[in-house]
Structure formats: structure tokens, C-alpha cells
Amino acid sequence: MLILGACAALPDLSGYAQQTRDLTTAINKAYTQTETDVTRRYIKTNRKFIIDTLRNAWEPTRQALTALAAYADALAKCTAAQNDPRALHQLGAQLNRLAATARNFAPIQGRAASEIANAAIFLIKQAQLAATRRKLGLLLTDADVVIQRISVLLQENLTDLHRIHRIVLEDDLDDLSVKYAKIALQYEERLKINESLMPEMLAIAEYKQAKLQARKASLLQQISIDRNPMQAASEEELVKRREADILQVYNANQEFLKNNESVYKEYVQSLTAMNEKMVQASILHRNTIAALQAWASVHASLKQIDTVGKAFSFAEFVTAVQNMQQVYTAYDKPFNPPRR
């Protein structure tokens, strides 16, 4: 945290500029992962137009992120130059560049094209106004209107990107379920049947070893013997027949489970990996939004940058960007489900 005294120099914003570059890099990486998953899904089905549409839709956001980083760099140079007029002019130019990117944002989240166009016109005019200021504090006050609105537009674009990504991942999950549906269902059903037979098999084994009649009578309550009056047979014989029936079912199921174990494990591993990918994608989106909000919040705090006693800190923003980068590192593992 930096505290400005009456004659204190402007704060060093090189860290803010660096974190902004890190933020934009991480956001673009998140897009790249989405494009990778979209491409993997549609490239083999001759639906390249979906991939091209996604790339074209992202391009304005990419341009805005590039302008965002350039603006933060210009801001850091401006404070380092202590309000040098040339640095102020460059800062205003970069703000204008950033505002102009809003003209190309596609209508998203239910917004009409006219609403996006009107917002862009307003932001460009606001940026032009800010660029006329000859004091950094005044420039930043006008610029913050642009920054806050651009931040919201970027958040909306990222939410739309996440929605597209989630649809692709959900389709992948559906394909996985269909691919393994028959084997998985049979495997799980037979596994449950054999598990349900275990208590009775144990009761039969104990019955065969029991010496006391009272104990045998107690165990018979756990054994499903067929007491057909038309078939004269002792309890021992009935238990023996029941054991043979159980073993026939149990052994047949065990043979099936053994023969299909590798396929079922393949299914479970793929399903787990797919669900983890969906969770990581959601966490990455949430952390990206949080990092953008923290970035905008820091900028809002700079509006009084040349006021005596104004405190400035961007620790929260640093943490938000780091959180996003950590999640991306965990998320950026290629999903390659095993192929049968």
C-alpha cells in the first residue's frame, strides 16, 4: 500500500500494469482452451463454420484485452513521468483505442445490436473527453466511466464464452454416456446383484458348518429356500439347492464383470475426467470474472490519485489474478478420453 503525502510522488503502477498483462494473457488462454474443445468436437463432422463463428465472435474481445494492457502500461508510464504532458497524451490515446473496441462487440446476453452501438458511441465520446484533461486525476475520473463499462462488457462476453464451452462439454458428456451406456448398465446391475447375494452366501456357508440346531434355524431365516410341499426334501438339501442356484448366478456375473472390467474402468475414468473438466471450467470462469472486477475496482480507486492522503492498494487484484492463473494451470490439461 502506498500513502501519498502533500508533495508525494505519484505511486508506482508498474505492478498494476504487469498484473493487467497477466490477466489478459490468462483470459486469452481460457479462450484458447474453449476453442480447442470446440474444434475437437466439430472439426471431424465438417462443421468448421462453428469454429470460425467462435473465432470471429472472440476477436473484438481479444482486441479489447490488448488495448486494456496497453492502457495499463500507458498509465504506469504516466505516473512514472509524474504527469508529463506527453505521457498524459499517450494515456488518452490508449483510452480512446480501448473505447473504440466496444464498437465491434457482438450482441450478447439478450442485448440488442442498437444498444451495443449506442454504448460504444457513448464510451468513445467519454474517452475523447477524458483525453482533453491535463491533470491525471481528472483524466482518470472521466476514464473510469469507460473502464467500468468495458469491464462489464468483457464480463458478459466471458459469460457467453463459458456458456458455449459448457454446451460443448455437456455434449461430450452425453456422447460418453451413450457410448458406454449398455456395458455400464449391465456391469453395475450385475455388480449390485452379486453384492446383494453376499449375505445369503455367507449365511449358507455358516449353516453348513453350524452344529447346533438352534443356530441353523436362525441362519435359515436369512436363506431363501423353496419349501415346496410337493417336493419332499430335508432342510440341508434345500439349502444345498439354493447354494447351487446362487453360485450359478454369482459365477456368471463374476465372469461378465471380469471380462468387462477394463471397459467399465475406462468409462468411470473418462466420466470422472469429464466432470472434473466441467467443474474446472466453471471455477476458471468465476475467477476470471472476479479478477476483472478487482481490476476495475483498483482503477476506480485511482480517480483521486493526486489527492493528498489518498491510499492506493492493488493486493486484492494481484490475488485475484493469481487465483485465476492457478485454476488455469489445473484446467489446462488436455482431455483425451481412452478410445476403445
- 239 touches 250 (CB < 8 A): no
pTM: 0.76
Query: DSSP readout, 233-282?
Result: --HHHHHHHHHHHHHHHHHHHHHHHHHHHHHHHHHHHHHHHHHHHHHHHH
Q: Is 45 exposed, middle or buried (0-12, 13-18, 19+ CB in 10 A)?
A: exposed
How confident is the chain (340 residues) per 10-residue block, as mean pLDDT? 46 86 89 87 78 85 92 89 85 88 67 62 80 81 88 88 88 90 94 95 92 89 79 83 94 96 93 88 87 88 64 68 68 46
What is the pLDDT at residue 331? Answer: 56
What is the pLDDT at residue 1? Answer: 34
Q: Which three cell numbers stand for residue 235?
A: 432342510
Q: Which three cell numbers stand for residue 37?
A: 474443445
- Cα angle for residues 285, 322, 316 (degrees, 5° grid): 95
Q: Is 228 exposed, middle or buried (0-12, 13-18, 19+ CB in 10 A)?
A: exposed
- 10 touches 320 (CB < 8 A): no
What is the pLDDT at residue 280? Answer: 86
What is the pLDDT at residue 134? Answer: 80
109 closest CA partner among 143, 152, 142, 59: 152
What is the pLDDT at residue 340? Answer: 42
What is the pLDDT at residue 105? Answer: 74
